[in-house]
Amino acid sequence: MEALPQLAIAWSAVIVATFLARIIGLTPVLYYLGAGCLLVNIGWLPEQPHQLVSGLADLGIVLIMFTIGFEEQASHFMASVKRSWGIALFGALAPFGATYAITWYLWQDFVTSLVCGLAMTATAVSLTMTILQGNGLGRSKVATRIMTSAVLDDIASLALVAIVIPIAAGDTAPNLFEILRVLGLATLFFVVVAAMSRLLSWVNANIFTNARFWARLGFADLSGTEPTQLTVLALMLFGLVLGILAHEFGFHPAVGAYLAGLILRDEYFSSERKVDNNLRTIGNALHSLSFSWIGPIFFVVLGTRMQLSWQLVQDVLPHAVVLTAAIFFAQISSAALAARYTGGMQKAASVMIGIGMIGRAELAFVVMDICYVQLKILTAGPFFTLVFTSFLLNILLPIAITLWKPIYAAEVERNAQKASFKRPQTANKNESSNQ
């Protein structure tokens, strides 16, 4: 029974947070985080929620990322990889350097600075994409670039975690074999996903073409003729399995879930004229589960990590404010410049990409937990500085996106008007030449 009251409180907080977000106009994610922080500090939720609630939180982030991937086009993602390497590279080096410099000045310890820089390198993929989704930008070009860059950053960060943390803990020395092993696992995982994508395409072309046959077997909803609860359940299972596979390869399960949604094509759910209705039905069901029922629990639980005391706030908050400001400006400027000059993005879109990279959540907290709780590499001061910094950056993320959105939307509108203005001119020139 202990889990049920906690779940009831969490869902109540989600409902209140959603209403507040609608009244004030910001994304609900910020209020979910704030609700979790408030509830843990007044004693209504424990710092370590019940296993059922924690399990739902883990499932929630997997569902969120699967739904976001399902709504994205794989061709857009792959095309974005070619233009996102600079954003990923410079967008990771700048916050790492800023964090390392500040933490070295504060604590004068190489290992502490190295681990802190590593924790602040990876972008919060799911948090950013959820906020963009809430602002109507979930399928925009900037969202694809942010997602691609964040996934590349996660790959690099996971490799560094596997290599640096054992060294920092004094368990092992750096060696070429460990580096190649991590890179090999990352490559193999993406090869497996690509092979799975090809297999799904073959099955769709050669097996699911005869919808009547599958209907007689009782799997009509899986062949796209009747998208019902079984279709949604099968899709959720697919995302969960690929998330588990990603975890086995060393990634966060959310990365695998996103790729699972990404490789599912629209035509897999089409049945002649029913494609639009099928996709709309499936999308609505997944969206409701991910962004209203289960997904928000992840952010409430994330907020419960912030158990505060007045003395702790006094000691840590000044350091966290300085570190937050440094990462905020370093992240935005580096990623924006990279998006502009290596990714070919417009000015406002480049800044939006830089803003979208400032969130810190899943991987940052994994690194902090390993280094503070498990291996005792970090002391309380650096650990809570990183926690406060992550929380402040996550608060600034939806605010900055909301404030910058009108500027970005105006640029998109101007570009659309220029494109529409050029088309008639081109047509007129062609007509003149024909005459």
Contacts 24+ apart (CB under 8 A), 180-186: 182/158, 182/250, 183/159, 185/249, 185/250, 186/155, 186/158, 186/159, 186/249, 186/250, 186/251
Query: Residue 137 pLDDT > 60, yes or no?
Result: yes
pLDDT in tens, 260-290: 888 887 767 655 545 556 677 777 888 888 8
pLDDT in tens, 376-430: 888 888 988 998 898 889 889 988 998 999 999 999 888 888 877 765 555 555 5
pLDDT score of 75: 65
Buried b (16+ CB within 10 A) or exposed e, 378-388: beebbbbbbbb
Domains delineated in the chain: 61-294+317-422 (1.20.1530.20)
For residue 120, give the nearest of 288, 305, 365, 313 by alpha carbon.
Answer: 365
Buried b (16+ CB within 10 A) or exposed e, 109-130: bebbbbbbbbbbbbbbbbbbbb
Instruction: Write the CB contacts of 418 (distance below 8 Å, at least 6 apart in sequence).
Output: none
Task: Report the C-alpha gap between 263 and 239 in whole angstroms.
Answer: 10
Is residue 8 classed exposed, middle or buried when 0-12, 13-18 and 19+ CB atoms within 10 A define those classes?
Answer: exposed
pLDDT-derived band at 259 (thresholds 50, 70, 90) equals confident
pLDDT score of 175: 64
Counted residue by residue, the chain has a size of 435
Tokens of 228: 């019902």
For CA atoms 189, 191, 192, 193, give the dihedral sign.
positive
To the nearest whole percent, how much of the chain has pLDDT over 70? 79
pLDDT (average), residues 130-152: 81
pLDDT in tens, 20-46: 877 876 667 778 888 998 999 899 999
* Backbone dihedral angles phi then psi of residue 20, each to the nearest 5 degrees: -60, -40
The model carries a pTM of: 0.70
Query: CB–CB of 127/30 below 8 Å?
Result: no
Give, for 122, the enclosing helix (H) or strand (E).
Answer: none
For residue 258, give the nearest of 88, 67, 59 by alpha carbon.
Answer: 67
Is residue 47 classed exposed, middle or buried when 0-12, 13-18 and 19+ CB atoms within 10 A define those classes?
Answer: exposed
For residue 368, give the nearest of 184, 157, 227, 102 by alpha carbon.
Answer: 157
pLDDT score of 322: 96
Task: Report the C-alpha gap between 4 and 10 in whole angstroms.
Answer: 10
DSSP states of 173-220: ---HHHHHHHHHHHHHHHHHHHHHHHHHHHHHHHTTT-HHHHHHTT-T
Is residue 363 classed exposed, middle or buried when 0-12, 13-18 and 19+ CB atoms within 10 A define those classes?
Answer: buried
Query: Residue 248 pLDDT > 70, yes or no?
Result: yes
Tokens of 221: 């909803």
pLDDT in tens, 77-98: 666 677 777 888 888 899 999 9
* Backbone dihedral angles phi then psi of residue 115, each to the nearest 5 degrees: -70, -40
Task: Report the C-alpha gap between 331 and 349 in whole angstroms.
Answer: 15
Task: Report the C-alpha gap between 389 and 267 in whole angstroms.
Answer: 44
Cα–Cα distances (Å) from 175 to 110, 111, 118, 162, in that order, read: 20, 18, 19, 11
Location of structure tokens 């370590």: 48
Residue 332: half-sphere exposure toward Cβ, Cα within 13 Å: 17
Query: CB–CB of 142/353 below 8 Å?
Result: yes
pLDDT in tens, 185-231: 878 888 898 899 888 888 777 776 655 555 555 555 454 455 556 77
Query: CB–CB of 135/29 below 8 Å?
Result: no
pLDDT (average), residues 295-319: 84
